[in-house]
Structure 1
């Protein structure tokens, strides 16, 4: 029987998939050398590939161990299949339900050093809802997601991060540390963070910490909308965010079926 030749492989794409399959098979953190040895890659190109995936939010780098591990963003690549096959117990389902209840864009974000990054964004169902692109970096001390994640850290660590961020930030992104710490204290008291007119005018984002997920960095759940809609609906959005986070925490504890 006549067999068509297989199409040529794109080496970079092949390596990314082999790398993700390596982590799926080994189920552990790995150094650059361990990955390079296991996959028979040059160490230099392995280091560049791991660094690129870390920058994009697909891997997390543990500086103390010099190891990499996949983030939740990798799992979310196929989350729609998980929902289709296994029901409504996943994070993506919870986000989608929150989007439907608020009619706004819903995101998940994490901190990367002195920045934060959205790793997942579900645009609201209304035609006028805002688009928050995945992968864009924002200053950690200016954004709602950054402030809610900073609030879980000791004050000494927050100040260290803030000073480093201010040293590298553009003038408009610098934040007085005294004002930041006052706001952090208020965030700890109420359990949520709000940013208005940032990074663009007429935008507002409301963030709440997601419950801890094993082997994953701290993350936040965010609702983004226009300023007027946030002012009108903020209390309801806070309730919806809290209910979603509490439901996910119950599922992680095994209190309710997924």
Structure 2
């Protein structure tokens, strides 16, 4: 296809990601637009669209964007046989085989938990309608509870009120959320059933490193609610073990 027929927005999206490879740090809309010679308005629209779809994350304090782990994992399937220094794909794949459950890598994006990478369970009974870039209410997921556990109760209250102010569905109860978060703090991992999907649950642990915007990352597995209720402790131990094995190959963690 001749260059003039290339879809402009697709080309620009790839050029933005390519620029981050050169910068290797967060950058704002103005810097990206000036460096690439794009109009600032269309750059802002495109970068926010990349944020909504899980390719970029945004720091509200610095007003800068940075690529998410989803970008880092895009080519994981190409060299899945060799677990590289910053390669998490292999760990997710191993967890899927060990648990026979769906495995996910996620982070916080606004008041939601956004999935950066998802490897579906092989068994149809435990497959979930999830894909990278999808977001769920942070207080209704195991990974979200792990992230909320690092916040103060006052901060959690503000997050829940913001969710309720913008949600079209049922309102979240602050005390109910705090009870789940309290259990997460005591046990050192998060687990929940029926939070997003009926008869489905998940277990999650915190990864001991953050993304480029210093946002925490969580690793989780999801399957039937019955299994989660019966095995959440064992599954959490398995998650921790795999994280520890992964970190042994990462001296800087």
| TM-score, with structure 1 as normaliser | 0.88
61-70 or 91-100: bigger deviation: 61-70
The answer on whether the counterparts of 1:130 and 1:226 sit within 8 Å (CA) in structure 2 is: no
Distance 1:41 1:123 in 2: 38
Aligned residue number for residue 122 of structure 1 = 119
Selected match of 1:11 from 5, 8, 12: 8
The answer on whether the counterparts of 2:192 and 2:202 sit within 8 Å (CA) in structure 1 is: yes
Aligned residue number for residue 79 of structure 1 = 76
Q: CA shift at 1:6, angstroms?
A: 6.3
Distance 1:78 1:143 in 2: 27
Q: CA shift at 1:88, angstroms?
A: 6.0
What's the secondary structure of 2:113's corresponding residue?
strand
1:102-181 equivalences in 2 (<5 Å) = 102-134=99-131, 135-172=133-170, 174-181=171-178
Q: CA shift at 1:5, angstroms?
A: 6.0
Distance 2:31 2:5 in 1: 28
Mark the runs of 5 or more structure 2 residues left unpaired by the alignment.
Answer: none
Report Cα offsets for 1:169-216 as digits up to 9, x if no partner.
2452x2222232232122111111122123221111111112223524
Distance 1:26 1:57 in 2: 20
Q: CA shift at 1:122, angstroms?
A: 0.2
What's the secondary structure of 1:211's corresponding residue?
strand
Distance 2:210 2:2 in 1: 44
Mark the runs of 5 or more structure 1 residues left unpaired by the alignment.
Answer: none
Aligned residue number for residue 184 of structure 1 = 181
Aligned residue number for residue 211 of structure 1 = 208
Q: Which has the larger radius of gyration?
A: 1
Distance 2:130 2:140 in 1: 17
| TM-score, with structure 2 as normaliser | 0.90
Distance 1:116 1:123 in 2: 18
The answer on whether the counterparts of 1:88 and 1:94 sit within 8 Å (CA) in structure 2 is: no
Does residue 42 of structure 2 align to residue 60 of structure 1?
Answer: no
CA gap of 1:38–1:204, structure 2 versus 1, over 3 A, is: same
Q: CA shift at 1:254, angstroms?
A: 4.6
Report Cα offsets for 1:97-145 as digits up to 9, x if no partner.
1111001110111111111121211011224331241222211122222
What's the secondary structure of 1:73's corresponding residue?
helix
Aligned residue number for residue 240 of structure 1 = 238
Aligned residue number for residue 190 of structure 2 = 193
Distance 1:182 1:87 in 2: 38
What's the secondary structure of 2:155's corresponding residue?
helix
Q: CA shift at 1:228, angstroms?
A: 2.4
Aligned residue number for residue 228 of structure 1 = 226
CA gap of 1:16–1:5, structure 2 versus 1, over 3 A, is: closer
